[in-house]
Amino acid sequence: MRTAGHFDHADSTIRAAKTALVEEFAAIAHEAGCSLPELVLAFDLAHPQVTSAILGPRTPDQLTSQLGACEVTSTSSTPARLDALVRPGADADPADSPYPQPVSRHE
């Protein structure tokens, strides 16, 4: 069970690191001409090992904003740039994962 402190990211170092990651992901989305949710969904949809992407909108407006992911085209370097920020199979904060972090083939 998660505690309120976990979600509040009481650790300022972790909070700052996650904020920096979001800002970097948002910059990549801006360069691609899309929103951050569209970029993330487009990344999933374009990945050859992903068979489906699950949307999670709570409102019709959120659904509409996520459907734009089907129209996103990225450069060939976009996946590598995203992977460089958070390696495949890893969590930005190891405390977010209930399982041991995988060994990356990039290490």
Per-residue model confidence (pLDDT) at position 100: 63
The confidence score (pLDDT) of residue 106 equals: 45
Taken in order 17, 19, 6, 43, the sign of the CA dihedral is negative
- In this prediction, residue 107 carries a pLDDT of 44
Using CA atoms, how far apart are residues 55 and 67, in angstroms rounded to an integer?
9
Q: What is the dihedral of CA 13, 99, 43, 27, to 10 degrees?
A: 0
The mean per-residue pLDDT over the stretch 19-33 comes to: 89
Kindly report the pTM of this predicted structure.
0.70
Q: Tens digits of per-residue pLDDT, 40-92? A: 888 888 878 888 888 888 899 988 888 877 777 666 678 888 888 887 777 77
